[in-house]
Each structure stands twice: as C-alpha cells, then as structure tokens.
Amino acid sequence: MATPATASRPMRADARRNRAALVAAARAEFAERAHEAAIEDIAKRAGVGVGTLYRHFPRRIDLVEAVYLEEIETLAESAATAAADADPFAGLSTWMQAYARYAMNKRNLLKELQEAFERDPGLRLQLRERLVASADKALAPAQAAGVVRADLSGDDLIRLVGGVCMSATATPDQNERLLDVILAGLRA
Amino acid sequence: MATPATASRPMRADARRNRAALVAAARAEFAERAHEAAIEDIAKRAGVGVGTLYRHFPRRIDLVEAVYLEEIETLAESAATAAADADPFAGLSTWMQAYARYAMNKRNLLKELQEAFERDPGLRLQLRERLVASADKALAPAQAAGVVRADLSGDDLIRLVGGVCMSATATPDQNERLLDVILAGLRA
C-alpha cells in the first residue's frame, strides 16, 4: 500500500506533515469532485508542490488508496467511540452515521478503487475484514445490553447501511431517513 | 421493446404459446445461470427450435428485455395482491418479499440490461417509474392504516430492499434476516 520510499525508512517530521496534508487535501477533493479531482488541485490545497506530491504518491492510485485507508481508519475510531458510549444504542447510532459517511465517500473513490482491487485481489478482502471488525465492535455492546437483535452480525450492518448509502442517486436527506428506518429495525 | 414483427400484427395462438414458453424458459435459465445462460438451452427448455426462438427474439438482448418486463409485471401483480390484503402490514411484507425476489433476479440480468439501458436511456427511467408505482401501491394501505411511517415513499422502499438484495454476495438466509430488520423499521 505505502510506496517503498516511505515504507522503508522513517520520515522526517516535515515529510510526515506534508504527507498528512496531502491525504487530507485529497480526501476533500475526492469528496467534492470524485474521480474528476485533479492532482494539481490536491497539491495546491495541501500547500505543497506537485513534485512533493509525486515523491509521496508516485501514482494517482497510491493517493486513492491512502485516502481510502484513512476513511477506514476514521471508521475504526468511530467504532471505538461507539463502544465506549454509556448508551449502547446511541453509540451504535453514531457509528452507523459514520459508516454512512464512509459509504458515501467510498462511492466517490469506487471507480479508481476497482483498479486497485483488480491489481491486488487480496486487498478488497483485507479491507472488508477491517470494516466488519469495526461493525462488530460497534454492535457488541448494544447486543450485550439486549437493545439490539442478537441474530445480527457486523456484516449484516454493513450490508444494510452500505446498500442504501452507496447508491449513486441517494440524497443526504433520503439517506438520513433510511438510516433511521434501519436503526429502528435493529432493536431487539 | 417488442420486436417489430410481433408488435405490428396479432400473433396466432400457437405463436403466443411459444413466446410465453420462451420467456418462462429464459426466466428460469437466467435465474440459474445469469449471463452464462445459453440460447440453445432456453429453446430446449421451452420445447421449441432455435429458429422459433430467433423469430420471436432476433437478438439476445430482446429476450433479456422480455424477461425483465415479465419480472416487473410479476411485481406489479404482487402490489395489487398486497393492496387487497385485509392486513395491510402483512400485505406490504408480502410485496417486499416479491421485491426481494425481483431484485435477486434482476442482479442476474444486470450485465446485459446495462447494454439495453445504454442503447435506450429513457428505458431505465420508464421502468423505474413502474417499480416506484408498484412500491407506492403496496405502501399506501399500510400508511393509510397508520401501521407504517407516513414519511416514507415507494422510492425509499425500493432503495432499502434493493440495496440489500442486489449485492452480489448476499445469501438467501441473510436477505431474509435483513428484510425482517427493514420491515420492523418501517413500523409507525
């Protein structure tokens, strides 16, 4: 996933800052423009030159993968927050909203991610496992408290929310309403 | 949609029987083998020669479209049955199961349907309108009886169930469980 240059030796602090700024800028650009996001605009938004961008991410797909990994990381953090919520149903609800945002962002990366998945068939599976782990973690406390149906799995959650939010024509309003329906349906 | 030859003059009774047998056979073959269904097997299953098949459906895509129209027709009939159910929630539940079957069958036709939709961009919209009309019809009595949330539309229903059932890796067991979650979530 990481480029050999960045994986083989520790980065200096300014290189780390640049890399983080590039990933953040790319996230924002992909969210706004999907596959039409331009490399030049990403560098500009990050406040670095295009040469710096290419040193960190030699190919566009490297940047797409880094953004997607960041989305999954954000989701994993939401699962930890959800699991720590004193109200387990509210915690699960928060995680589901985070997953809906993740799914909508993934939709913007999908066209280019397909390419990465075709190049590395294990990658899709590996990332899906991280997603399911995140969903399991968010689900467990609500099931332990008996407020959510015991027969549901993290994979079920992902399919329910993802199926709704990955649709190309879904509006934020409709997604919110449908998420609400799903949440109500999860109750034990 | 229909081939000019069949649309321009009434068919004889045996021709109508052959056509119906071909569409039924194609439905079964597509359900079992998706885009790998062979024209020869469809003719054989219908008990007619390949020449007869080609007279009714000159191109493979004509047969795919006829099967898909039949799926939508079946769904419209389910909506009428649902709307006539004395228990409006049970009626809606029956329709949602019919929609789940429709969505799973559509998944098998999707690859070839895309081609038809690209050739005729209005077709997708026109068929989607019939789907939404079917969902609206199934939903109305349950909303009128106050047993289903009033803020939901037929389009919401389609998105909830379709998103879950169109997934390429969904199993019938999981689909049934997720449908159950969605149904519970619809309640007012």
d(CA A19, CA A29) in angstroms, rounded, equals 15
Supply the ipTM of this predicted assembly.
Answer: 0.78
B186 touches chain A (CB under 8 A): yes
Q: Look at residue B54 and tell me whether its pLDDT is greater than 90.
A: yes
The answer to whether the CB atoms of B181 and A152 lie below 8 A apart is yes
* Cβ atoms of B152 and A181 closer than 8 Å: yes
DSSP state of B85: -
Q: How many CA atoms lie within 13 A of B57 on its CB side?
A: 25
More confident residue, A167 or A162: A162
Q: What percentage of chain A has pLDDT greater than the value 90?
A: 58
More confident residue, B158 or B1: B158
B contacts of A185 (beta carbons < 8 Å): 180-186
Backbone angles phi, psi at A148, to 5 degrees: -125, 145
Q: Look at residue A3 and tell me whether its pLDDT is greater than 60.
A: no
The answer to whether the CB atoms of A164 and B163 lie below 8 A apart is yes
Q: pLDDT tens digits for A113-131?
A: 888 888 888 888 888 899 9
To the nearest whole angstrom, how far is the Cα of B110 from the nearest Cα of chain A? 15
User: What does the pLDDT read at residue A66?
Assistant: 92
* Mean pLDDT (whole number) for A47-54: 96
Residues 136-175 of B with CB under 8 A from A: 149, 151-152, 155-156, 159-160, 162-164, 166-167, 170, 174
Q: Which residues pair with B148 in a beta bridge?
A: B187
d(CA B135, CA B143) in angstroms, rounded, equals 12
Of B65, B52, B79, B55, nearest to B26 by C-alpha is B65
More confident residue, B169 or B93: B93
Picking from A160, A183, A187, the nearest residue to B164 by CB comes out as A160
